[in-house]
Structure 1
Amino acid sequence: MKTRRLGHSGLDVSAISLGCMSFAGFYGATDQDEAFATLDAAREAGITFLDTSDLYGQGLSETWIGAYQKDRKYRFQIATKGGIVAGAPRGTADNSEPYLREKLEASLDRLGVDHVELYYVHRREFSRPIEEVTETLLKFKQEGLIRAIGFSEISPASLRRAAQVGPIDAVQNEYSMWTRLPELGLIETCADIGATFVPFSPLGRGILGDTDLSPSNFKDTDFRKNNPRFIEPNYSANMKHVRELRDFAEARGWSTAAVAIAWTLQQGKHLVPIPGTRSADHLMEWADADEIIFSKADWAELGRIMPLGWAHGDRYSDAQIVGVERYC
């Protein structure tokens, strides 16, 4: 697995890293044994960097990572997030120093570590100046609790404001072949300020794979159940593009998921995608995506199959987008 530099931190992380939201059951039931098998597969593939949050399963994802590291006597590089108030109305955030400190310390305890490599503010508290929040994160860094600082789902303008206070190491926003919003300034801004851009959901929440999903069978707890892109007629319209992408991948001996991740990697050397899975088998389908290099003809064909704006439906429902900073 190739590596890439994490912002200004001096740390090198695996070019493809693992998102651990699925460990908490966002897309279906899972258990600790399955999570451990997935983490074993990640290590085998050369993945060194994990992404989690105190919100995922109300700490369950972090707890399982901590248990794995203790059981296997192995230490991953870890990014986690805080700032969303669990149990409050959706979109409620608290970015005050006391709240973030409490949540960070609880995350460290669950993970069984004295520091994490990267800590993100999961969602902005819009009434609190981002400059103040950045100062809080820099304080945590000075105290040795974190090695690098970041923000999730923020705008390019907010990022530039934060960068005036101190070095921002990473920004995590949704980005994939069907969610292209970060191309409207965020990826470029990250490059300008020396931050790593971390695309989450680079597999389009599972649609950019070799197996058809069954939205009619999604559990009520599945995030996609009420997501516009997985509701008809949008889902069928989107699958027409996905099936063409599958044909493209198959003709070249690649998995569709590997193509989707390679596509994100090749949008810039400062991108570190974090595909998520709870399955070791699924992980191995895309673990070698950093080895794929597209030709000019490949890029032209990908542009034809999935042109800008091809996805039918919003990336979030009105309820799901609450708390996300919009900039277009």
Structure 2
Amino acid sequence: MEQRRLGTRNVGAIGFGTMSFGGIFGPTDEATSLACLDAAADAGITHFDTADIYGMGISERIIGRWGRRDIHLATKCGIVTGPPRTVRNDESYIRQCLEASLRRLGREHVDLYYIHRRQPEIPVEDLAGTMGRLVHEGKIGGYGLSEVAPSTLRRAHAEHPVTAVQNEFSLWTRLPQLGLIQACRELGVAFVAFSPLGRGMFGREPLKRAFRAGIDFRDTNPRFTEPNFSANLAAIAPFRALCAARGWSVPGAALAWVLAQGDHIIPIPGTRKAEHLHDWQVPRLDAADIAAIERVLPVGFAHGDRYGDHQMAFVERYC
């Protein structure tokens, strides 16, 4: 697999996100998740991403039981599930969360530690100072920020260099192209794209609206509720036809498009099933291919917001 820079190391250009191991998209089990991790490693994936809130520690514990030490591992803290759901970025809380994550992961060190959401009341310079101290103490290899604006990145980076920014980015979520991807490139910061396959919308087959209420969070997500859901299926249908005509898998082409937006971008698709990894083989896209994709999926084509209002709390908006 192609390699890309993440902090001081090279990793596979495609990483692996483990949010689904915690059950946010529906039931899963440890044996299936462990098999999925094995398949990802066999496919050349070396960067794995988790968080303390994914299944309230379930994802981290599964990775800990997996026990691989030859991977680049990231986890996150900062979201307090509540009720009420809020965020904390104070140093005592960050240290408490990190120690708990390390216990679940079975490690004394994690390669990359993200602040999952920023707490507005705490100056980002103070937050960067906290993360810098954890780096100097050897607890973390580097730190990252998630769902932040370019201005926040620049302020944090000036205090202590940021390793990575993780924001949603895909063919139907293009906001990072309005400044954040450019700021990351300028500062030498990796941009880690989560949900690059649109939470299943760019899967092998068109999604069916059979989300389990109270379990699968897409059930109340604006892009997956009617009439938006049907409109989005129709909008993506020409892209599926283009992929079929050119012999591409739909997920592979969607990932290839993300990778083509900058050599500092690392998408982290996720899955609960090992067989889905076969669809992640990326074709080589030339300028004509990219233009053809963007003709059928022009910027801003999606119907509905990527989050509901309650999910947008503490997501930084800058445009």
Same fold (TM over 0.5): yes
Distance 1:245 1:218, change over 3 A: farther
Q: Identify the residue that residue 2 of structure 1 maps to in structure 2.
A: 2
- Equivalent pairs: percent with the same residue? 51
Rounded to whole Å, the distance in 2 between the matches of 1:97 and 1:293 is: 44
Q: Which runs of 4+ in 1 moved over 6 A?
A: none
What letter matches 2:80 in structure 1? V
Q: CA RMSD in A?
A: 1.1
* Match for residue 262 of structure 1 among 256, 265, 278: 256
Q: Identify the residue that residue 83 of structure 1 maps to in structure 2.
A: 78
SS of the residue aligned with 1:272?
Answer: strand
Residue 311 of structure 1 and its aligned partner are, at CA, apart by: 0.4
Rounded to whole Å, the distance in 2 between the matches of 1:217 and 1:296 is: 37
Q: Does 2:287 correspond to 1:296?
A: yes
Q: What pairs up with 1:170-209 in 2 under 5 angstroms?
A: 170-209=164-203
Rounded to whole Å, the distance in 1 between the matches of 2:233 and 2:222 is: 14
Rounded to whole Å, the distance in 1 between the matches of 2:213 and 2:206 is: 16
* Match for residue 53 of structure 1 among 35, 48, 51: 51
Residue 242 of structure 1 and its aligned partner are, at CA, apart by: 1.6
Rounded to whole Å, the distance in 2 between the matches of 1:315 and 1:305 is: 20
Residue 241 of structure 1 and its aligned partner are, at CA, apart by: 2.3
Residue 164 of structure 1 and its aligned partner are, at CA, apart by: 1.1
Q: Does 2:312 correspond to 1:321?
A: yes
State the number of aligned residues.
319
Where does the alignment leave 5 or more consecutive residues of structure 2 unmatched? none
The one-character-per-residue Cα deviations of 1:105-147 (angstroms, maximum 9, x if unpaired) are: 1101100111111000001111000000000001000011111
Q: Does 2:33 correspond to 1:35?
A: yes
Q: Does 2:126 correspond to 1:126?
A: no
The one-character-per-residue Cα deviations of 1:160-217 (angstroms, maximum 9, x if unpaired) are: 1111102111000000000000011000000111100001000001001221222244
Where does the alignment leave 5 or more consecutive residues of structure 1 unmatched? none
Question: Retained in 2: the 8 A contact 1:149–1:168?
Answer: yes
SS of the residue aligned with 1:46?
Answer: coil
What letter matches 1:251 in structure 2? A
Q: Identify the residue that residue 150 of structure 1 maps to in structure 2.
A: 144
Rounded to whole Å, the distance in 1 between the matches of 2:40 and 2:301 is: 32
Q: Does 2:93 correspond to 1:99?
A: yes
* Match for residue 67 of structure 1 among 65, 68, 88: 65
* Match for residue 275 of structure 1 among 269, 278, 283: 269
* Match for residue 223 of structure 1 among 217, 221, 228: 217
The one-character-per-residue Cα deviations of 1:4-40 (angstroms, maximum 9, x if unpaired) are: 111xx31111110000000001101000011011011
Rounded to whole Å, the distance in 2 between the matches of 1:276 and 1:240 is: 24
Rounded to whole Å, the distance in 2 between the matches of 1:309 and 1:259 is: 18
What letter matches 2:307 in structure 1? Y
Rounded to whole Å, the distance in 1 between the matches of 2:213 and 2:46 is: 32
Question: Retained in 2: the 8 A contact 1:19–1:275?
Answer: yes
What letter matches 1:284 in structure 2? H
What letter matches 2:4 in structure 1? R
Residue 83 of structure 1 and its aligned partner are, at CA, apart by: 1.0
What letter matches 1:319 in structure 2? H
The 10-residue stretch of structure 1 (308-317 or 209-218) with the greater mean CA deviation from structure 2: 209-218
What letter matches 1:313 in structure 2? G
The one-character-per-residue Cα deviations of 1:263-285 (angstroms, maximum 9, x if unpaired) are: 11110000000001111011221
Question: Retained in 1: the 8 A contact 2:211–2:218?
Answer: no
Residue 300 of structure 1 and its aligned partner are, at CA, apart by: 1.9
Q: Which TM-score applies when normalising by structure 2?
A: 0.97
* Match for residue 230 of structure 2 among 227, 236, 251: 236
Residue 74 of structure 1 and its aligned partner are, at CA, apart by: 4.5
Rounded to whole Å, the distance in 2 between the matches of 1:236 and 1:156 is: 33
Q: Identify the residue that residue 161 of structure 1 maps to in structure 2.
A: 155
Rounded to whole Å, the distance in 2 between the matches of 1:217 and 1:123 is: 26
* Match for residue 306 of structure 1 among 297, 300, 305: 297
SS of the residue aligned with 1:319?
Answer: helix
Question: Retained in 2: the 8 A contact 1:95–1:121?
Answer: yes
Question: Retained in 1: the 8 A contact 2:204–2:279?
Answer: no
The 10-residue stretch of structure 1 (243-252 or 138-147) with the greater mean CA deviation from structure 2: 243-252
What letter matches 2:2 in structure 1? K
The 10-residue stretch of structure 1 (191-200 or 211-220) with the greater mean CA deviation from structure 2: 211-220
The one-character-per-residue Cα deviations of 1:210-235 (angstroms, maximum 9, x if unpaired) are: 21222244332111011111111111
What letter matches 2:18 in structure 1? C
SS of the residue aligned with 2:87?
Answer: coil
Question: Retained in 2: the 8 A contact 1:28–1:219?
Answer: no
